A and B are shown apart, each in its own frame.
Chain A
């Protein structure tokens, strides 16, 4: 209790920090010459309402963000004192995020529903089921999300960014194809499109990034090359389960209920969402990317991209992050029959260990992105992006891991075999500022629409989807999005509406809206809602995009209050 109080006090201190600093009222943030300090304090409540009369609060999150920026080298002078003639400019950025999830203090009910939202399997625990230690472990976060410095050289057109950072490539919104350098932390929110920023969802990595400006080459202008290297510090998709993280994955912990008590463990000291069977060294856990970009004489801006990285399993593809490993090799001493193989696997399971390891293999990926502003005819911007990834891991039903059934006969467990396949993803999008004067006489609506598709050039009949035993992996998948935003009340009211539809999986859909109201320039109130549905279909829909199938009964309303400085 004392520890908890101390942590709470430190959080309060951080929240008040900006208020005790003297500052110039001429600035919206705190600026002292080349140094600026800014940030916000935010509280967010999320209410879940699977039915109109069934509401429960599932999140009460309090966040403080503090951002420090400093021009520490200007015109070759570091700190205005030390001459560094080779460097023209350097800029430091530090972004701190402190979180206090106060929902773990009052632990509201009721039981949360989880996928597939039916029968006993559809009901999960309550927050109050968490032990005090478990709740405490989830209650706080305190981290420097980003800490990096930009360095621009004086005599060569090279810029470096060194430190903990994010790299975002590509042209799409919310469809992560070339934007896959940083894996996601879905413990922040599992289905937060439209509510949470990707900045909060991405896991920043320590890395070095360089951009070299070639200027003009022939008919191409703004030619540049960019590369990054994550030296041994990559981490995969992070996720949480109900009831502890009711806003994360829509399911209960699949590793729960081992015979030894507690959760099942994995082989080779691997852990899902944390690490695979590799050491966190430069040799085994690095990640690189390279792209060149340019603009043609016709105004088409494009990039050519190459990425080499471990599979994070966060791009919506129905890949498997578990690779089964039989505990004995058939034909070796003591492992003469399939029963021996199954027995050794079952023995392991009985000891609370699954015969599998967390699996994050390296893949090569190549991609292209492009955009073109057609000011003449459509008065909009056309965007596209495509990526081809080699050798992604899928669960293979024909390579089962054997275990013993109740009659001691070997039976295949279909989830743990792995077969690799290439995957092609692409999208085309169109943005247009458009007058809809009957709704807003003074400002245009920004309309943006995207069509996304995915193709697996392998027979997928042997693949097993990850959501359930009936989940199929299809060769073709597609998703469409449309969004509209505008401004009212002289910049004080900013509404956004959006709609997402998956035409392959029973038109599984999501519709949402967000409205930010600036009570004052510093105080912002946000109200937002997300609704998930499958029109005209009451059955279960296995889809991995997080729409009306996977999130069917996770309609949510968000109330957020932010004070920024």
Chain B
């Protein structure tokens, strides 16, 4: 009897210890974060240097979504193929995934329970009913670094390649919760905004043209998906900071980029029904060997730096709202970085309406960011096929993880700096 009791106690202790310290197996992490460790993908007819164009698309037809292939066939886009680039995210993020992923579950309210840092769900199986939802949460908690500062130029370009509006801006996004614990003694607190429950803050400052110069906006995104964003706007015309409501299905400057669309998807997870369609090996504009994307093709809308073969998840999001402009969006998410590399949008009738490309580069070719191990953003473009129009974000400069004072992201700073 005593031995049985002892066995039970020991067993319970072992189970509780195991639950507390369960770690993701190395093989799972390897598959997710190092998919090219055992060799770069190679496909007959798509060797590095191969040109994919209106005249030579056949070898690529199984390695592109049909919608993008159609644009190549139509002569809107052409590119060369380059060797796949190994772009692992940060060690701290991978380590956090290893330590904490096993304990992440869905709560009854649709939020995550037990999430600390890293990728919440490194195992995605399309046979799993919740795989789509898990992928959406992975997207939300992808490794974006701690702080990203971007100087870029946003152009609204018609079919002739003429820009109707040009807006230069400085954009900063700073994560304040669920950051992976960094090594070293820099005092990095992974949850600096725990009290407010804020996942990240976005600061956006227009630097040109003259009529919009010094327009500043600030966004607070909560950790809880159920909580709504808080947005403020400083307009130099009014010289006041105003609280504003931003509708996620609206588009600034009539650009065609809905507020939900940035980075492929930046809305509320709860507003969509998610389905993981599967995983594929596809060509994508990733690993760009420059600090900024080169745009070309029809209207100068397309990324024309060399594309490469990537392991990709295909995730479909169907808006729950009946009056949403889209019937669905399909995100093609890079497995290694878990960032959408392109997203296809379908109108209410189900026709392919828009394509968004998010370009990430090879840090070795990005001066100042050579040692960065997060997806290094090099540009963005949204092509509105139905209205023959492109919204192109061209990078001027980008800095990752350079410390910034917390006060920079406060309303008071805008009050003081508004001019």
Contacts and interface: CB of A to CB of B under 8 A. Distances in A.
Co-complex (A, B)? yes
Interface of A: 26-29, 31, 36, 38-40, 65, 67, 91, 93, 150, 152, 157, 159, 161, 166, 168-171, 173, 197-199, 211, 213, 215-216, 221-222, 224, 226, 293, 295, 299, 301, 371-373, 375-376, 379-381, 431-433, 435, 442-444, 487-492, 518, 520-522, 524, 562, 564-565
Contacts of A522: 209
Contacts of A213: 407, 410, 412-413, 416
Nearest to A221: B196
A488 B242 CA distance: 23
A518 B213 contact: no
B242 A199 contact: no
A492 B413 CA distance: 31
Contacts of A381: 242-245
Contacts of A67: 210, 213
B389 to A, nearest CB: 6
Given A29-B213, A435-B323, 6 more contacts: A40-B211, A375-B228, A490-B254, A490-B387, A491-B255, A521-B209
Contact of A487 (B253, B323, B396): B253
B228 A432 contact: no
Given A490-B158, A564-B209, A28 B166 contact: yes
A443 B247 CA distance: 10
B165 A211 contact: no
A69 to B, nearest CB: 8
B168 interface: yes
Interface string B245-259: 111001101111000
B208 A170 contact: no
14 contacts: A40-B210, A150-B417, A150-B419, A168-B240, A213-B413, A221-B196, A293-B412, A301-B243, A433-B247, A443-B250, A487-B253, A491-B165, A491-B254, A520-B164
Nearest to A442: B254
B247 A295 contact: no
Contact of B412 (A29, A222, A444): A222
Given A29-B213, A197-B237, A522-B209, A433 B250 contact: yes
B74 interface: no
Contacts of A444: 247, 250
A119 to B, nearest CB: 40
Contacts, number: 162
Contacts of B407: 157, 213, 215
B413 A521 contact: no
B163 A521 contact: yes
Given A221-B196, A444-B247, A166 B239 contact: yes
Most chain B beta-carbon neighbours within 10 Å: one of A152, A488, A521: A521
A67 to B, nearest CB: 7
Contact of A491 (B156, B196, B246): B156
Contacts of A442: 251, 254, 256
Contact of A293 (B229, B251, B413, B415): B415
Contacts of B163: 521
B24 to A, nearest CB: 36
If over half of A's interface residues share one DSSP class (helix, strand or loop), that class is named, otherwise mixed; here it is strand
Most chain B beta-carbon neighbours within 10 Å: one of A27, A373, A520: A373
A314 B411 CA distance: 30
Contacts of B254: 442-443, 487-491
Contacts of A443: 250-251, 254
A75 to B, nearest CB: 11
A38 B415 contact: no
A27 to B, nearest CB: 6
A492 B195 contact: no
A79 to B, nearest CB: 20
Contacts of A491: 156, 164-165, 253-255
Contacts of A27: 168, 208
Interface string B326-348: 00000000000000000000000
A65 B213 CA distance: 13
Nearest to A374: B245
A222 B207 CA distance: 25
A295 B411 contact: yes
B187 interface: no
Most chain A beta-carbon neighbours within 10 Å: one of B167, B168, B243: B243
B411 A301 contact: yes
Given A93-B419, A490-B253, A26 B165 contact: no
A565 B210 CA distance: 7
Nearest to B394: A26
B189 interface: no
A-B residue pairs, 9 tightest by C-beta: A491-B253, A28-B208, A159-B416, A168-B239, A375-B228, A521-B166, A224-B412, A564-B210, A211-B416
A490 B384 CA distance: 11
B153 interface: yes
Contact of B245 (A170, A199, A432): A432
Contact of A39 (B158, B207, B210, B389): B210
Contact of A29 (B210, B396, B416): B210
A29 B410 contact: no
A91 B195 CA distance: 32
B55 interface: no
A293 B413 CA distance: 12
B230 interface: yes
Contacts of A26: 153, 396
B205 to A, nearest CB: 12
B238 A211 contact: no
Nearest to B246: A433
A444 to B, nearest CB: 5
A211 B417 CA distance: 10
A431 B240 CA distance: 15
Contacts of A173: 238
Contacts of A371: 242-243
Nearest to A524: B211
Contact of A521 (B164, B238, B243, B250): B164
